Amino acid sequence: MTFSHFLTITVLVCLVYPLSASDISLGEMESLKALRESLSQRRDIIPSWFVLGISPCNWTGVKCDGLLITELDLSWTVSPLNLPFPRHIGELRSLKNLNLSHCALTGEIYPDFWDLENLEILDLSFNQLTGMLPPSIAKLKYLRQLVLDDNNFSGSLPSTIGQVTQLRELSLQSNSFSGNLPLELGNLQQLLALDISNNKFFGNLPSSLGNLSRLLYFSARQNKFTGILFPEIGKLTKLSILDLAWNPLTGPIPSAIANLKGLSKLDLQNCRFTGNVPEELSLLSNLTYLNLAQNDFDGELPSSIGRMVNLVYLIAPSSGLSGTIPSQLGNCKKLKIINLSFNSLSGHLPNGLAGLESINSILLDSNQLSGPVPEWISNWKQVVSIVLSQNLFTGPLPPLNLPLLSLLDVSANKLSGELSVEICNAQSLTTLLLSHNNLSGSINGIFMDCLNLVDLVLSDNNISGEMPAYLGDLQLITLELSKNKFSGTIPDQLWESETLMEILLSDNFFEGRISNAIAKVSTLQRLQLDNNLFEGNIPSSIGKLKNLTNLSLHGNKLTGEIPLELFECTKLISLDLGANRLTGPIPKSISQLKLLDNLVLSDNLFSGPIPQEMCSGFQKVPLPDSEYVQHYGRLDLSHNELEGPIPASIKQCIVVAELLLQGNKLNGSIPEEISVLINLTLLDLSFNSLSGSLVPQLFSMRHLQGLVLSHNQISGYIPDNIGLEMPSLAKLDLSYNRLIGPLPPSVFNSRSLTYLDVSMNSLSGSLCVEYASISALLVLNASYNQFSGTLDDSISHLTSLSVLDLHKNRFSGSLPMSLSTLDALTYLDLSVNHFQNSLPCNICNIEGLTLANFTNSFSSHIPESCSMAKPCLLDQQFPSRHEYPSSPLVSRASVFGVAVGVTFISLVLLICLLRWRMLRRDGINNNSANDMLVMTPESGSSDGLLVKKTRDPLSINIATFEHPLLRIKAADILSATENFSKSYIIGDGGFGTVYKAFLPEGRIIAVKRLNGGHLHGEREFLAEMETIGKVKHENLVSLLGYCVFGDERFLIYEYMENGSLDFWLRNEADAVEALDWHTRFKICLGSARGLAFLHHGFVPHIIHRDIKSSNILLDVNFEPRVSDFGLARIISACESHVSTILAGTFGYIPPEYGQTMVATTKGDVYSFGVVMLELITGRSPTGQADVEGGNLVGWVRWMVAKGREHEVLDPYISGSATSTDQMLRVLAVARLCAHDDPWKRPTMLEVVKLLKQAKV
Active site residues: 1106
Element holding 972 (H helix, E strand): helix 970-976
CA 836/CA 816 separation, integer angstroms: 11
Residue 35's H or E segment, with its range, is helix 26-38
For residue 30, the Cα-to-chain-centroid distance in whole angstroms is 61
Signed CA dihedral, 919, 923, 925, 931: sign only:
positive
Cis amide leading into 587 (omega within 30): no
Q: Is 1008 labeled as ligand-binding?
A: yes
State whether residue 422 is helix, strand or coil.
Answer: helix
* 377 closest CA partner among 399, 348, 394: 399
Three-state DSSP string of 1059-1113? CEHHHHHHCCCCHHHHCCHHHHHHHHHHHHHHHHHHHHHCCCCEECCCCCHHHEE
1190 sits in which H/E element:
none
Task: Give the orientation angle of helix 1192-1201 with respect to helix 1161-1177, to 10 degrees.
Answer: 70
Per DSSP, the three-state class of 284 is coil
- Rounded CA-CA distance 993/987 in Å is 6
- Alpha carbon of 915 to those of 706, 779, 918, 1112: distances in Å? 21, 18, 5, 38
Distant-in-sequence contacts of 860-869, Cβ < 8 A, 24+ apart: 860/836, 862/838, 863/838, 865/841, 866/839, 866/841, 867/841, 868/844, 869/844, 869/845
Helix or strand run (H / E) with residue 1225: helix 1217-1233
Q: CA–CA separation, 672 vs 1006, rounded Å?
A: 40
Dihedral angle, C-alpha 805, 809, 814, 817, nearest 10 °:
-10
Whether the CB-CB separation of 191 and 215 falls below 8 Å is answered with yes
Cα–Cα distance measured from residue 945 to residue 895, given in angstroms and rounded to the nearest whole number: 27
506 in Cβ contact with 529 (< 8 Å): yes
Using CA atoms, how far residue 1200 sits from 79, 103, 555, 1216, 1227, in Å, is 10, 14, 56, 21, 10
- The CA distance from 542 to 577, in Å, is 14
- Whether 684 and 706 have beta carbons less than 8 Å apart is answered as yes
CB 655 within 8 A of CB 680: no
Residue 88, beta-bridge partner list: none
Residues 765, 769, 773, CA angle at the centre, nearest 5°? 150
C-beta atoms surrounding 1215 within 10 Å: 11
Based on the number of CB atoms within 10 Å of its own CB, is 867 exposed (0-12), middle (13-18) or buried (19 or more)? exposed
Single out the residue of 599, 939, 896 nearest to residue 752, CA to CA. 939
Give which of 1128, 950, 949 is closest to 1037, Cα–Cα: 1128
What is the C-alpha separation between 497 and 501, in angstroms, rounded?
A: 9
Using DSSP bridges, classify how beta strands 1048-1054 and 1004-1010 pair: parallel, antiparallel or unpaired: antiparallel
Q: Cite the DSSP H helix spans in 869-935.
A: 888-922
Binding residues for ATP, by number, are: 1008
Binding residues, by number, are: 1008
